[in-house]
Every structure is written in structure tokens, then in C-alpha cells.
Structure 1
Amino acid sequence: MGEDAMLLNGQDPAAIARAAQALADGALVALPTETVYGLGARADSDAAVAQIFAAKGRPADHPLIVHVLDVADAERFAQDLPPVARRLMQAFWPGPLTVIVPRAAGMAAAAAGGQGSIGLRCPAHPVARALLAEARKLGVLGVAAPSANRFGRVSPTSAQHVLSEFEPGLLVLDGGDCEVGIESSIVDCSRGHPVLLRPGVLTEAEIAAVAGEPLAPRDAAAPRASGTLAAHYAPSAVVRLLAPAELQAALSKETPHALAVYSRTVAVPQGLLQRVMPRHARAAAQELFAVLRALDAQGAREIWIETPPADAAWDGVRDRLSRAAAAFSDSAS
């Protein structure tokens, strides 16, 4: 997208002010968070939020997460904040946790996908926080911001990833590479007992310890939530998720053209495009989407990925990879 790509330095107060004014005027702004880059619009304007759905090609009934500066701003979007939600906010905000709570009447209906509940998050990234603070001075109470990519594709963890997704003219605040790398954990607090709707880097045990009770599994009555469709986070290449023994066996046979392998423990034959998955879950999460994008860019037509370990620290990574693999299964069925 060149010099006129509207890429702004997130460390520059003038850039923050320009982006905040754009939000106040109802325009879209891409912003960094500690999880992934978001495509933001003022959450209190259904017209502004409609631009997000149009730009992403996202169904309008698939709700967005509203990013707020603090609990006081969260209260403006909530009919009430259940005690369990307040405990989670106090422990994990700012940070990679979204809570779903009953939505205040007349607030952010489009961002909520028309539901009576709304997802709220307080990001930790300093550029996101500076933007939210500046926008609040202009009357913007919160920013609806799903990942800044075409719907169903790999989430962006750098400003350059965002630039590759959209046409020139979008304001993009550059805050460097995202520290967490996968989207926030989502906990539904709108129905009495907390329910984990999407895993992230926070483990279920960590969240349950603060909630004061076990997290219930997702059920049929759960509200719709971002990033919970069966097929999601997919690169252009076909993704196959294989247990270590299955991957080793598959690599011992004739392999397809333009194959890439992303593995932790399995030895990969010379000549194949390979990336080594980190041994630690948080490091793997931080690089996951960047690796999938890089392998796409290097011409991989298939990406074979070693299934991560079964322990809880890997739940978020395993969730994203399972959905990326399901995108191919759905298209092939």
C-alpha cells in the first residue's frame, strides 16, 4: 500500500489524535491490542459498526467485542455487571479476557449482533489504551473491534498483516507485533454461572479460581460470540492437524507438492518448507498467526501441523488450529 497507505505511528500523539477523531467521526481505524490487531468503530453508532461487517464480509448477526478503557466505561454498555464479571474484570483487566454481560437497552445493538448480551474487554496494549483515552474525550465510550482481517481468515498480529487485508484509505495505527498473538478468552457471565465460550492464553483454571466456581462448558443456550464458529482462522493453504505419530507416518510417504510442516517434536525431511513450533504454549500462541501467514506467502498449498499437547496451557492454540483445519473440512464436504 505504499507511502499513502495511512499507516500511522502509534507512538506519535498526533497520530493517536488523528485516529481518535476518525473514530469520533464514524470512520474505521485499525488498532493494535496485545492479542491481535482490531478493526475498530465507535460502538455506540450502529452506522459506524455496519462498516466493520461490510469491510470484513462478516455476517451482521455475528457479534463484536467492545473495547473499553475501564470498568466505568464498561458499565455504560451493560444493563448490569454480575458479581462474577466484576471479579474477573478486577483480576484480568487490562488484559486478554472478554466478559459477556447483559446489554444496556438502546446501546450498541449492532455491535452485539442484535443480542441482549454484549462482550466487553479492556485491552492492555499502550497504543490501544491511548486511543481509547483520546477517543473518550471526543465522546466515544467504547470501540467495537473484531480482528482486522477478512472474515474467517487468519487474524493479523502486525500492522503489515492489516495492510495486506484491506484497500488503501484505512487508518492503521502501528503498535508493533502483538505480544499475546491469539484472541482473548471469552467468558459468558450473563446467565448466572460463568461459561467459557472461547479459550485464550488464560487457562480455564486461572479464570475459575478468580470466578470462585468451575466454568461450565458451552451449551446450546450460550450467546453467539466472536471466533466461535467451527471453521475459522484459516490461511489460504489447506491445514491438516495431525498427532505426532500420524505426522511422522505421513511424512514417511510421498508428500504433496508445496507442503509446509509446523511441528514441535517430529523430524521433517530435508527439502520441505518447515517451521519449528515453540515448546512453550505462550510462545507458540504469540507466533501462530504470523507463521500461518508466512507459510501462505511462501507458497505452501498444504500445511501439516503437529497437534499441540493436551494440557490446559495449550487450549487456546489447539482451539485456533482445530478451527483452521475445520475450514478445509467444511469446504471439502
Structure 2
Amino acid sequence: MSAPQTQPLFDCGVPDERTRGLAAAARAVRGGRLVVMPTDTVYGIGCDAFSGSAVRDLLAAKRRGPDMPVGVLVGSWTTIDGLVTAVPASARALIEAFWPGELSLVLEHAPSLAWDLGSTRGTVMLRMPLHPVALELLREVGPMAVSSANTSGNPPASTVTEAITMLASSVEVYLDGGPSGEAVASTIVDLTGPRPRLLREGTVTAEQVAEVTGQDVDRA
């Protein structure tokens, strides 16, 4: 049985619907509202990264507190230069090797940025996804705070129907990119210390991180 459709749903496999859906999603993000979109891992729920109220709405929709901060997706390699204090050589090397893709990098965020992503302790987790719909939206609206499209305690949505079932009318626009396939989380590497620190191992392995950076990798 299909989930009830509560908000605008656009099939991004149909060119006209994709165009209309991306335009609707961009308007929603700029208006401080939430959207669900496909990514290269699982479906994500996202909003304007610089809107504190939108991020709070995102956490409320997921029934999650600020103790689990929201990561930020970007649409290009160069976007991160304006978001962090500095981009170390290890980050540049990993970005060139694995972006866009399933690698998230934790760096110290630029102190001038007025954002509230949760209890980040001055850091931000950044990733560039390898999905055409996500990239097109990100390039249109800029950095987005994005988390997996699910409510706390439930598995991440691998289809838009699963996302609708859990998030319903808390989301303004749903973009359907088809099933996401096997739900594999991104690898998370913390680059705020003297050596890379693996916080979560996904598709990108610790050995690959070590090879690209030329450094030993600590594990959390």
C-alpha cells in the first residue's frame, strides 16, 4: 500500500516534473522550509544551512535534538573555502580523490558564519553528493543542512514513499529520484587534529584515507 501523499511530490525521472520539482524545492529552501531529495547514499531531508529556524524545524521533523548536529552538503569543491577556517592539504587530497561521493569531512567552520547546526563545537561536517538531482539543487540554492530522511529510531528512507510515511507534512516538497539502492552511510573523517581520525567507516575505507593523505589514520 502506498503512503498518503501530503505535500507536492515530483518524479525527477520525468524531465518536466524534474524541472518543476527543482524550482519548487529551491523556492522552499529559500523560504526556510524543508525538502526531501535523493542523494547517492539514502534520501535526505534538507534546508538552508544558514537558517537556524529551518535547521530547528529539520531536527523537530526527525524528532531529534541538537546533540546530534546536522551535516552540510555542497554543490562544488570550491564552496568549502568560504565555510571553514582553513582547508588543510589532507582535505584537498581527499576532496580530489573522493568528491563527489560517499566521504564526509569534519573541519573547523569559519567563525564569521551565522549558522546553528546543533552542538558542533565549532566544526562542520561537509560532503559533496554524487547525485545529479541533489547537485543541481545545491548549485541553485547553496549549502544545505541535510540529514537522512527518517524519524529518530527508524532506518533512513531508501525511497521517497518511505520518507513521506515518516515525515509527512513537515516537509514542503518531495523529490523522487527512484530507489536509492543499498543504504550505505558515508565515511566520516575528522580533520581537525594533527592526523585524520575515522569517525565512521563506510564505502571509503581507512586504508584509502591513509593512502590518499599519506598519514596514519586514528580511529574513534
1:80 to partner: Cα distance: 1.1
Identity %: 34
- The partner residue of 2:56 within 47, 50, 54 is 50
Give the 3-state SS of the residue equivalent to 2:166 in structure 1: coil
Aligned pairs (5 A) from 1:314-333: none
1:174 to partner: Cα distance: 0.6
Q: Is the 8 A contact 1:101 1:189 kept in 2?
A: yes
Q: Is the 8 A contact 1:40 1:146 kept in 2?
A: yes
Q: Is the 8 A contact 2:37 2:45 kept in 1?
A: yes
| Residue in 1 that maps onto 2:12 | 10
Q: Is the 8 A contact 1:112 1:119 kept in 2?
A: no
1:178 to partner: Cα distance: 1.4
| Residue in 2 that maps onto 1:182 | 184
What letter is aligned with 2:187? S
Cα distance change of structure 1 residues 5 and 48 upon mapping to structure 2, 3 Å threshold: closer
Q: Which has the larger radius of gyration?
A: 1
Q: Is the 8 A contact 2:84 2:107 kept in 1?
A: yes
Q: Is the 8 A contact 1:33 1:128 kept in 2?
A: yes
List gaps (5 residues or longer) in structure 2. Answer: none
List gaps (5 residues or longer) in structure 1. Answer: 136-140, 219-333
Q: Is the 8 A contact 1:60 1:110 kept in 2?
A: no
Cα distance change of structure 1 residues 161 and 4 upon mapping to structure 2, 3 Å threshold: closer
- What TM-score comes out, normalization by structure 1 length? 0.61
Aligned pairs (5 A) from 1:1-333: 1-11=3-13, 12-107=18-113, 109-135=115-141, 141-168=142-169, 170=171, 171-179=173-181, 181-218=183-220
1:2 to partner: Cα distance: 3.7
**What is the distance in 1 between the residues matched to 2:193 and 2:140?**
34
State the structure with bigger RCO (CA 8 A, min sep 6), 1 or 2: 2
Q: Is the 8 A contact 1:82 1:190 kept in 2?
A: no
CA deviation profile, 1:76-109 (whole Å, cap 9, x unmatched): 2111111111111111000000000011114264
CA deviation profile, 1:16-69 (whole Å, cap 9, x unmatched): 111011101100001110101111011011111111111111111211110001
CA deviation profile, 1:233-264 (whole Å, cap 9, x unmatched): xxxxxxxxxxxxxxxxxxxxxxxxxxxxxxxx
What letter is aligned with 1:37? Y
What letter is aligned with 2:91? A
**What is the distance in 2 between the residues matched to 1:3 and 1:206?**
42
CA deviation profile, 1:249-286 (whole Å, cap 9, x unmatched): xxxxxxxxxxxxxxxxxxxxxxxxxxxxxxxxxxxxxx
**What is the distance in 2 between the residues matched to 1:167 and 1:155?**
15
What letter is aligned with 1:174? D
CA RMSD of aligned residues (A): 1.6
- What TM-score comes out, normalization by structure 2 length? 0.91
Q: Is the 8 A contact 1:112 1:118 kept in 2?
A: no
Q: Is the 8 A contact 2:77 2:95 kept in 1?
A: yes
Cα distance change of structure 1 residues 206 and 14 upon mapping to structure 2, 3 Å threshold: same
Cα distance change of structure 1 residues 30 and 207 upon mapping to structure 2, 3 Å threshold: same
CA deviation profile, 1:97-139 (whole Å, cap 9, x unmatched): 000001111426421524211100000111101111222xxxx
What letter is aligned with 1:197? L
**What is the distance in 2 between the residues matched to 1:106 and 1:214?**
32
**What is the distance in 1 between the residues matched to 2:66 and 2:114?**
13
**What is the distance in 1 between the residues matched to 2:192 and 2:64?**
24
Cα distance change of structure 1 residues 214 and 173 upon mapping to structure 2, 3 Å threshold: same
Q: Is the 8 A contact 2:76 2:139 kept in 1?
A: no
What letter is aligned with 1:68? V
Count, aligned residues: 213
What letter is aligned with 2:96? Q
Q: Is the 8 A contact 2:41 2:183 kept in 1?
A: yes
Q: Is the 8 A contact 2:198 2:219 kept in 1?
A: yes
**What is the distance in 2 between the residues matched to 1:89 and 1:118?**
15
Q: Is the 8 A contact 1:82 1:101 kept in 2?
A: no
Moved over 6 A (4+): none
